């Protein structure tokens, strides 16, 4: 991946944009989309759209959510400590002891996640699993009045951990779930400008996936696509302690290509086209069994209006919903090619009726 694209990815990951507060990442995503898309805009929900080949047929929607998990200030006590509620699914064990960035109207306020020290806990407390309600944020305020000069109730915050590169083409960041998907769909749309597609393509960076697939629900209704492909991350199993998991889930490795989902949430003929394209274009791929609604934007897209031809391409990821989510940059490149080359093969006559 070249430096310019890597920097775009880093800028996405480093944006402080938990569910419901996606404006910073939307600004980054739209600025890049405007360099090539025919039309770019944001709707009243916060979803951002980039259109390629307007007027083409059929209408294809790419979806990758650009919200992330985070927290929201819900109470400021007399001593100036901030109490929080979770935005999205959190393992409280990961949150404790972290530095945070609070996004306010006046700019970024830095703080730390506090918890009673282990030396001061009772033996019984040490055995308990911490909950978010046991944690607070310390911004160094003298008291409530001092804190209220800096932050407000409802201000969002995230763990202070940004993009970085590791050995062997891996990258780490706080919000690859799902800035990686938002990156892939836009780069695939860019690639399609060079492939003379018959389809009209909508790349949509969706909001509020982490709290219930909300953005994809409204965006799919608005676009009314014929075909929708969501791009999200999925659990890799190529690290310690995954032996038993692989027996009941899927065996997925970083660096071995995008993961193509197969199951009730996925149109069978679209699945076949994705696999055929991967083989034809020599793109490495993996398959995951998905025996129910996938919990991704693909689920919302499939069930929109009278039903949509839906697919799901996922990027293998280690340590999901943590500040150190880890991916392979090569998997991103392969995912871009898979989406672009698949859609380039779709014409108005392509039949997706499953049987």
294: domain CATH number is 3.40.630.10
Examine the domain organization and report whether 211 and 74 are in the same domain. no
Residue 191 located in a structural domain: yes
Token pair of 198 as six digits: 């018959």
Domain edge (last residue) among 159, 189, 214: 159
Q: Average of pLDDT values for 129-156?
A: 95
Examine the domain organization and report whether 48 and 183 are in the same domain. yes
Domain edge (last residue) among 117, 132, 159: 159
Do the beta carbons of residue 142 and residue 30 sit within 8 Å? Answer: no
The single residue of 32, 68, 200, 209 carrying the catalytic annotation is: 209
Do the beta carbons of residue 216 and residue 62 sit within 8 Å? Answer: no
pLDDT digits (tens, 9 = 90+) for 56-111: 999 999 999 999 999 999 999 999 999 999 999 999 889 999 999 999 999 999 99
Residue 313 located in a structural domain: yes
Examine the domain organization and report whether 151 and 196 are in the same domain. no
DSSP H helix total and E strand total for the chain: 11, 17
110: domain CATH number is 2.40.30.40
Examine the domain organization and report whether 200 and 128 are in the same domain. no
Residue 352 located in a structural domain: no
Residue 349 located in a structural domain: no
Q: CA 107, CA 225: separation in Å to the nearest integer? A: 38
Examine the domain organization and report whether 76 and 63 are in the same domain. no
Residue 168 located in a structural domain: no
Mean pLDDT of the chain: 96
pLDDT at 247 over 70: no
Reported as a pLDDT band with limits 50, 70 and 90, residue 128 is: confident
Residue 166 located in a structural domain: no
Examine the domain organization and report whether 17 and 42 are in the same domain. yes
Q: How many CB atoms lie within 10 A of CB 167?
A: 5
Examine the domain organization and report whether 188 and 261 are in the same domain. yes
Listing DSSP states for 289-346 in one string gives E--S--SSHHHHHHTSTT--EEEEEEEEEBSTTSTTEEEEHHHHHHHHHHHHHHHHT-
- Catalytic residue status for 244: no
Examine the domain organization and report whether 142 and 290 are in the same domain. no
Q: Average of pLDDT values for 311-339?
A: 97
Examine the domain organization and report whether 93 and 238 are in the same domain. no
Residue 164 located in a structural domain: no
CA angle 231, 235, 241 (to 5 degrees): 170
pTM of the model: 0.96
Lowest pLDDT segment from 79-83, 143-147, 238-242, 321-325: 238-242
- Residue 147, CA atoms < 13 Å, CB-side half-sphere: 23
The pLDDT value given to residue 246: 67
Residue ranges making up the domain that contains 203: 3-68+174-344
Q: Which residue(s) pair with 108 in the sheet?
A: 103
The strand order across the sheet containing 259-262 reads 39-42, 48-52, 200-206, 59-65, 227-235, 309-317, 259-262, 286-289
Reported as a pLDDT band with limits 50, 70 and 90, residue 126 is: confident
Examine the domain organization and report whether 109 and 184 are in the same domain. no
Domain edge (last residue) among 126, 159, 192: 159
Q: DSSP secondary-structure letter at 34?
A: T
Q: Average of pLDDT values for 7-31?
A: 97
Examine the domain organization and report whether 34 and 57 are in the same domain. yes
Q: How many CB atoms lie within 10 A of CB 49?
A: 21
Examine the domain organization and report whether 215 and 320 are in the same domain. yes
Residue 104 located in a structural domain: yes
Token pair of 69 as six digits: 């998990």
Number of compact structural domains in the chain = 2
């Amino acid at each position: 991946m070249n430096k310019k694209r890597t920097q775009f990815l880093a800028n996405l990951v480093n944006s402080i944009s938990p569910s419901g507060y996606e404006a910073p990442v939307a600004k980054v995503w739209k600025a890049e989309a405007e360099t090539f898309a025919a039309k770019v805009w944001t709707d009243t929900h916060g979803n951002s759209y980039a259109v390629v080949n307007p007027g083409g047929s059929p209408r294809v929607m790419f979806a990758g959510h650009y919200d992330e998990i985070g927290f929201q200030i819900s109470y400021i006590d007399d001593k100036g400590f901030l109490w929080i509620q979770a935005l999205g699914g959190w393992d409280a064990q990961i949150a404790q002891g972290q530095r945070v960035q609070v996004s306010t109207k006046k700019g970024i306020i830095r703080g730390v996640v506090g918890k009673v020290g282990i030396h001061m806990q009772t033996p019984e407390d040490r055995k308990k699993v911490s909950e978010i309600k046991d944690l607070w944020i310390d911004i160094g305020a003298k008291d409530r009045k001092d804190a209220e000069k800096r932050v407000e109730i409802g201000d969002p915050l995230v763990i202070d951990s940004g993009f970085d590169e590791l050995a062997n083409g891996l990258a780490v960041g706080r919000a690859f779930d799902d800035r990686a998907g938002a990156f892939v769909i836009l780069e695939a749309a860019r690639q399609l400008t060079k492939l003379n597609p018959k389809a009209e393509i909508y790349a949509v960076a969706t909001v509020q996936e982490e709290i219930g697939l909300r953005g994809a629900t409204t965006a799919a209704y608005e676009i009314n696509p014929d075909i929708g492909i969501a791009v999200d991350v999925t659990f890799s199993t190529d690290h310690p302690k995954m032996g038993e998991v692989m027996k009941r889930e899927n065996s997925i490795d970083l660096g071995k290509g995008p993961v193509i989902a197969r199951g009730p949430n996925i149109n069978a003929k679209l699945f076949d086209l994705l696999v055929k394209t991967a083989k034809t274009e020599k793109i490495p791929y993996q398959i995951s069994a998905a025996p129910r609604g996938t919990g991704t934007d693909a689920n919302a897209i499939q069930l929109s209006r009278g039903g949509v031809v839906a697919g799901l391409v996922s990027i293998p990821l280690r340590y999901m919903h943590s500040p150190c989510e880890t991916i392979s940059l090569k998997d991103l490149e392969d995912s871009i090619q898979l989406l672009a080359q698949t859609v380039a093969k779709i014409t108005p006559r392509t039949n997706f009726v499953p049987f």
